[in-house]
Amino acid sequence: MPCLKSIRNPLRPMRGTLRLGACVTVLALFGTAGIAVAQTAPAAAPTVLPAQKKAVEVVLVQSKVVRDAQGKEQLVAADSVKPGDVLEYRATYTNNTGKAVTGLVANLPIPDGLEYLPKSAKPGATLVKAAAKDGQFAAEPLSRVVNGKSEAVPYNEYRSLRWTLGQLPANGVTAVSVRAKVEETAPPSQPVAAAKSTPEVKAR
């Protein structure tokens, strides 16, 4: 397995919007060419959503966690990372409408080459669940059955987190965050793993 030396991080703060109105399902994917929105409306009278009608705006920022000379923790730009560095992903959701948005769920993948730091997901408690590659979400620590015996899932196998945020009040703002450490070795399928993420937001 080749060593992970230095990674060029292409991620920059990204913004997206979710539009409500006649929407039954709203799905925004970041890190792709655009935003996919599924809508339903009567065929005889289609609903037109004004361009300025923004519902939930999402901003994703990735930072590197460092300490200054006094040992105080700071967040700096993660333009490049090396093994052992700790990264923080923070997604902020802003409701730009005059009414509450309900059924808000946020999914944040953990890229290969990064090891999730235990209990670093915020907010935690009952709002967040984790999943390995099998996609089965559960409260951490995750466990699995191997040869009839239960064993803990290693934290470097955690691949996604999901927050059930529920209702976001009118003009409200909320955020989720998670931390992960750059692993010493790269996954066999990815000699050099890029530190990137594609959060998903659902509102219903």
The reply to whether 107 falls in a domain is yes
C-alpha 107/C-alpha 129 separation (Å) is 10
Q: Percentage helix, strand, coil, to 5, in the chain?
A: 5, 50, 50
Q: Residue 98: its pLDDT value, please? A: 87
Cα–Cα separations (whole angstroms), residue 110 to 21, 27, 49, 175: 32, 19, 34, 17
The pTM for the full model equals 0.67
Average pLDDT over residues 129-150: 94
Average pLDDT over residues 81-96: 93
Q: Residue 40: its pLDDT value, please? A: 33
Q: Residue 182: its pLDDT value, please? A: 95
Q: For 126, list phi and psi in degrees, rounded to 5.
A: -85, -5
Q: Residue 186: its pLDDT value, please? A: 53
Q: How many CA atoms lie within 13 A of 176 on its CB side?
A: 25
Q: Residue 202: its pLDDT value, please? A: 58
Task: Count CB atoms within 10 A of the CB of residue 112.
Answer: 16
- For the chain, the average pLDDT equals 74
The reply to whether 123 falls in a domain is yes
The reply to whether 46 falls in a domain is no
**Model confidence over 26-43: pLDDT tens digits?**
233 233 222 222 333 344
Contact between 168 and 55 under an 8 Å Cβ cutoff? The reply is: no
User: What is the count of structural domains for the chain?
Assistant: 1
Amino acid occupying residue 73:
E
C-alpha 204/C-alpha 201 separation (Å) is 10
C-alpha 64/C-alpha 87 separation (Å) is 5
DSSP lists the bridge partners of residue 177 as 90, 122
Average pLDDT over residues 149-173: 94
CATH code, 62: 2.60.40
List the domain range (segments joined by +) for residue 158: 7-40+53-203
Question: 181 versus 31: which is more confidently predicted?
Answer: 181
Q: pLDDT at residue 53 above 90?
A: no
The reply to whether 162 falls in a domain is yes
The reply to whether 136 falls in a domain is yes
Q: Residue 159: its pLDDT value, please? A: 96
Question: 12 versus 142: which is more confidently predicted?
Answer: 142
Q: Residue 80: its pLDDT value, please? A: 85
Task: Residue 203: name the closest of 41, 32, 38, 89 by CA.
Answer: 38
Q: For 147, list phi and psi in degrees, rounded to 5.
A: 55, 40
Contact between 64 and 6 under an 8 Å Cβ cutoff? The reply is: no
Most confident of 33-37, 42-46, 162-166, 194-198: 162-166
The reply to whether 47 falls in a domain is no
Average pLDDT over residues 37-65: 60
Average pLDDT over residues 134-155: 94
**Model confidence over 142-152: pLDDT tens digits?**
999 999 999 99
C-alpha 120/C-alpha 138 separation (Å) is 15
